[in-house]
Chain A
Amino acid sequence: MTDANATATLRGGLWDNNPGLVQLLGLCPLLAVSTTLVNGLALGLASLAVMTATSTSSSLLRHWLHPDLRLPVLVLLIASLVTAVDLLFRGWFFELHLELGLFVPLIVTNCVILARAESYAIRVAPAAALADGFAQGLGFAAVLGGLGALRELLGHGSLLQGADRLFGPVAAGWQLQLLPGEHGLLLASLPPGAFFGLALLVALRQRLAQRRRAAAAVPET
């Protein structure tokens, strides 16, 4: 795989074909867990691990996949890897796992994962599949973290609340109180805030993409 390909893959996951902002896939965990930056980031990283692992292993198995049995094999693969990540998560990030609760095992229902495995990973070599899974996972984690940061900032006026649960005791003092917390925008913390926040991020991305297209169409004189 060439460097140009790798860059295009990464760009695709983070911007051009971002799972959260463009494909609008996997919105259930995206909306439910993005209450704080740390929660969003934690689920984002777990999804990133699952996506990288499933894309790579689906590509490795691609020569043994019969069309009739492709779906059961991929579903079994994804379910096993999600269970493994869930067990590891619970062993090493126990308090965070308590808070995210059901949403770690529910990564299995995230359609981005099956979509990338089925539409892309089983058609290409493992290196390309790994890059794609990683890029898509990174894009998803970025949106989760970004939405979490936005909601935490508007709702509590802070960032990195509870960082020690993700990064260990070193991070105990990382919380930043940027705005007075008691007058936070309650709506941002409530479920509707997740929809508004995501809509804002989607609109912002569209605007930037449009502006860039317009700039490309009219060559500078």
Chain B
Amino acid sequence: MPGIADRRARGLLLLVLLGIVAAAGLSWLQAQTAQRVREHEARLLLERLREVLPPPERFDNQPALDRLLLTDPRLGSKRALPVYRARRNGRPVAAVLTVVASGYVDEIRLLVGIDAGGQLIGVRAIRHRETPGLGDGIDARRSDWIRQFAGHGAGAGLALRRDGGDIDQLSGATITSRAVVKAVRAALAVFAERRAELFASTAGSDGLESPP
């Protein structure tokens, strides 16, 4: 039976060794999984972009890689937000803007696909925490509500019916519906105003890195 001092020394040694083993093991595991995580992220981004881009035969670049970071307070954030561009033979086909709407609970992050003529191809909510059963209808997996934006331009029709437009609101979620409409209008306004800049050459593209 080892003495008390001995046991304490052994305990300390164990703590130190365990720390070293844990640090080494975890860094190894992180290196092993990092590649998988990157692949998942890229695949998820592609799946999401596909829903707000024109059919793949209409463009010949890789929009997920043709990325630009745009800072414009009208998009709902002071931070830079990614814009993905689709081109054919180098000419603009569509752009996908990321917009932040202020929802009922928290921020709603939207992808807004706009074709070169300024018409909406599609809108999808990619991150939100809206009330289940009410506001979460903005999620394309929960209801078709958000699909009605497709084909709209920046005209007067792009507003809720009760505000004089022709977008049906989600029942019981006026605040959520209005926030999404407002953010989509903001995206269209920024697109119209900064169009040339949005489709500027690919030189500024910085791949899939996350914004700073």
Which residues of chain A have a CB within 8 Å of any CB of chain B? Answer: 35, 61, 64-66, 68-70, 72-73, 76-77, 79-80, 83-84, 87-88, 90-92, 94-95, 155, 184, 186, 189-190
Contact = CB atoms under 8 A, between A and B. Distances in A.
B132 A189 contact: yes
Contact of A65 (B11, B22, B36): B11
Given A92-B36, A155-B133, A80 B25 contact: yes
21 contacts: A64-B11, A65-B11, A65-B14, A66-B7, A66-B10, A66-B11, A68-B8, A73-B15, A76-B18, A77-B22, A87-B26, A87-B30, A91-B32, A94-B40, A94-B44, A95-B40, A155-B132, A184-B133, A189-B132, A190-B131, A190-B132
Given A35-B132, A87-B29, A80 B22 contact: yes
B11 A186 contact: no
Interface string B1-24: 000000110111011001100100
A174 to B, nearest CB: 16
Given A61-B14, A72-B15, A189-B133, 9 more contacts: A61-B18, A66-B7, A69-B14, A80-B22, A84-B26, A87-B30, A87-B33, A91-B32, A94-B41
Given A76-B19, A186-B132, A189-B132, A91 B33 contact: yes
A73 B33 contact: no
Given A64-B14, A186-B133, A91 B36 contact: yes
A88 B29 CA distance: 8
B134 interface: yes
A214 to B, nearest CB: 40
Contact of B14 (A73, A84, A91, A92): A73
Interface residues of B, number: 25
A64 B2 CA distance: 11
A170 to B, nearest CB: 18
Contacts of A95: 40, 44
Given A95-B44, A186-B133, A64 B25 contact: no
Interface of B: 7-8, 10-12, 14-15, 18-19, 22, 25-26, 29-30, 32-33, 36-37, 40-41, 44, 131-134
A91 B14 CA distance: 30
Nearest to B5: A66
Given A64-B11, A65-B11, A73 B18 contact: yes
Nearest to A79: B22
Decide if the interface of chain A is mainly helix, strand, loop or mixed.
helix
Main DSSP-derived SS at the B contact region: helix
A220 to B, nearest CB: 48
Q: Which 9 A-B pairs have the closest CB atoms?
A: A66-B11, A91-B33, A80-B22, A94-B40, A189-B132, A69-B11, A91-B36, A186-B133, A64-B14
A88 B25 CA distance: 13
A35 B142 CA distance: 15
A76 B12 CA distance: 13
Contacts of B12: 66, 69
Contacts of B41: 94
A84 B11 contact: no
Contacts of A77: 18, 22
Contacts of A68: 8, 11
A32 to B, nearest CB: 12
Given A68-B8, A95-B44, A155-B132, A90 B18 contact: no
B135 to A, nearest CB: 11
B10 A64 contact: yes
Contacts of B15: 69, 72-73, 76
Given A80-B25, A90-B33, A190-B131, A66 B19 contact: no
B8 A66 contact: yes
Contacts of A84: 25-26, 29
